[in-house]
Structure 1
Amino acid sequence: MPQTVFLTGATGFVGSAVMRRLVAEGVSVKAAVRSESDRVEDGVHVVRFDSFEAADWREHLVGVDSVVHCAARVHVMNDTETDPLTAFRKINVEGTLHLARQAAEAGVRRFVFISSIKVNGEGTQPGKPYTADDLPEPRDPYGVSKMEAEQGLRELANHTPMEVVIIRPVLIYGPGVKANFLNMMRWLDKGIPLPFGAIHNGRSLVALDNLVDLIVTSRVHPKAANQTFLVSDGEDLSTTQLLRRMAKALGKSARLLPIPSWMLSSAANVLGKRSLSQRLCGSLAVDIGKTRSLLQWTPPVSVDSALELAAKHYMEHKKQ
């Protein structure tokens, strides 16, 4: 009997890539989408909803083998909500557990939850990467909401036959990436001099294809049941290294000025851009040893190959 996956966030950056992969592998997919204009792959069964945290999913979960839950209220740099934690909890905690409880009642075998490295914290010290079994130390409302969702899912798994898999990605990049990663490609493409030529931090990244591969692996791997995994490309880069290798992928030369990172951090703090400074100058590294050993999993795509894919998409779709 063919397997059926119930997929949320199916039109998002990660969810759409998961959908393409599952369809390519011949898996039957039910995709939860909000808007009539949202487009899905041919052959995918569309499930429309208005309010994620109040939707009645029960009839759509009948016969479903696994749920891959990519939908979330995502982290934003400048949140305009007066009470961000309440807003994050509504979707990321209440919505997640609402779906998970109905999935357990429907007899779904496994629930794969895409969480965030922000559950671990905001940064690491040299030689001390985060691990999957570290005590959580979320520092912002988004990270807190993801942690609380994880806790609720583990509790559900303890009291029902449904297995839960939690995946905490680091910064995700790939074709169609937005936000700061897209801005970096734009700067490099235009040849803008950047003050990031002397940053010696270490940051873990994960290519979209690598994350998707782990998601589809953990959906069926027996040893993934009720485990938490960190995921990255397995190679940490400094901001300086990333910009140079990204420029190479774009066929450009990186014009990087060797400004000391302490000067950049000081300037950013004065300008009220401390969080951006942390992303550019600070370290955030993860150890994926557990993911590798327990699942016998290796990132299938190298950093440079993934950067080339992202660069190719950017060059084909950039605004002239």
Structure 2
Amino acid sequence: MTILITGATGFFGQAILRQLPTSSGPVRCVIRTGTKKRLGPHEHDVEVVEVDDLFAQTAAWWADILSGVDTVIHAAWYAEPGKYLTSHRNLSCLTGTLALAEGAFSAQVSRFVGIGTCFEYDFRHGYLSVDTPCGPETLYAAAKASAFLTLSNLFRGTDTAFLWARLFFLFGAGEHPDRLVPYLHRTLSAGEAAELSSGQQVRDYMDVDAAASLLVQDVRDNVVGPTNICSGKAQTVAEIATEIAESYGRKDLLVFGARPDNLVDPPVIVGVRP
């Protein structure tokens, strides 16, 4: 079985590579030109296709690249912290994803796996299952939800199995340094105060490697339709921060309330596995 992965140089894509068993068969990675080093130890283990902008390629280009591929795992998307939620680059990610899917349809791949987000859901429900209505409130979430709906209809009634994996809150190796968990490790390890909001938001955090392992298992089990890649564990941000601080013996460095709470931040976002 040949697997094609997009986004393999990114935070979650790298974790997918780490979790793929060596027996899974050949892996082909479509990456941005000049980023091959980001594949790390997998650089020489996979077939690499470099392209300036994978979201600018045509369906015909993708159909050619997908020759002989059984499974597509599409993890590429624009995800720069602080910008991705409202960026217009989500539009090119959406149109590029549709071209990839059309190419996969033409190449008659056996399985197409898309990576979605918990932000597609209506957060008013708090505990989110695959049956929870969608209610995207950002351009990023709307583009992801649009991709899900379009691809669901594209592959319905075909021989291509379609899986849409909605990620919740991930942390771990390769995470952007400005995100919550690496920020806490960086400040606490340096003996500096960690300035936080009230920390009362309830979230579903999961190690990125555990999340990638869950995705690979869903692929192996031939799961189709939407699925949640989540821990199902409800924790407040304060509890998460306290756990990390305790590992350094520096709970005294946590300064809750130093930053204002976001008044539109949902109080509860927790995933429910199918």
TM-score with structure 2 setting the length? 0.86
Give the secondary structure class of the aligned counterpart of 1:228.
strand
Q: Per-residue displacement from partner, 1:116-173 (whole Å, max 9, x unpaired)?
A: 111014x456xx4111111111111100110111011101112532111011111111
Aligned partner of 2:218 in structure 1 is: 218
**What amino acid sits opposite 1:283 in the alignment?**
V
Q: Per-residue displacement from partner, 1:159-208 (whole Å, max 9, x unpaired)?
A: 53211101111111112211322222222223333465964332101211
Matched, 1:45 2:38: no
Moved over 6 A (4+): none
Give the secondary structure class of the aligned counterpart of 1:165.
strand
Checking the alignment, whether the CA contact within 8 Å between 1:32 and 1:48 is kept in structure 2 is yes
Aligned partner of 1:264 in structure 2 is: 260
Aligned partner of 2:65 in structure 1 is: 60
Matched, 1:166 2:164: yes
- Structure showing the higher strand proportion among its residues: 2
Aligned partner of 2:148 in structure 1 is: 150
User: How many Å apart are 1:23 and its aligned residue?
Assistant: 5.5
Checking the alignment, whether the CA contact within 8 Å between 1:206 and 1:233 is kept in structure 2 is yes
Shift in alpha-carbon separation, 1:233–1:141, aligned structure 2, 3 A: same
Aligned partner of 1:208 in structure 2 is: 208
Distance in structure 2 (CA, Å) of the matches to 1:75 and 1:136: 23
Aligned partner of 1:307 in structure 2 is: none
Matched, 1:72 2:74: no
Q: How many residues align?
A: 264
Give the secondary structure class of the aligned counterpart of 1:115.
strand
Question: CA RMSD of the aligned region, Å?
Answer: 2.5
- Structure showing the higher helix proportion among its residues: 1
Single out whichever of 19-28 and 166-175 deviates more from structure 2: 19-28
Checking the alignment, whether the CA contact within 8 Å between 2:232 and 2:270 is kept in structure 1 is no
Identity %: 22
Aligned partner of 1:189 in structure 2 is: 189
Shift in alpha-carbon separation, 1:254–1:61, aligned structure 2, 3 A: same
Aligned partner of 1:107 in structure 2 is: 108
**What amino acid sits opposite 2:118 in the alignment?**
I
Shift in alpha-carbon separation, 1:142–1:49, aligned structure 2, 3 A: same
User: How many Å apart are 1:26 and its aligned residue?
Assistant: 4.4
Shift in alpha-carbon separation, 1:32–1:133, aligned structure 2, 3 A: same
Distance in structure 1 (CA, Å) of the matches to 2:29 and 2:7: 8
Distance in structure 2 (CA, Å) of the matches to 1:111 and 1:80: 24
Checking the alignment, whether the CA contact within 8 Å between 2:56 and 2:92 is kept in structure 1 is no
Aligned partner of 2:269 in structure 1 is: 284
Stretches of structure 2 that go unaligned for 5 or more consecutive residues are none
Distance in structure 2 (CA, Å) of the matches to 1:17 and 1:23: 12
Q: Per-residue displacement from partner, 1:13-36 (whole Å, max 9, x unpaired)?
A: 111121232263442100001123
Q: Per-residue displacement from partner, 1:53-93 (whole Å, max 9, x unpaired)?
A: 33212222111110000000126424698xx34x21211x1
Aligned partner of 2:14 in structure 1 is: 16
Distance in structure 2 (CA, Å) of the matches to 1:157 and 1:200: 41
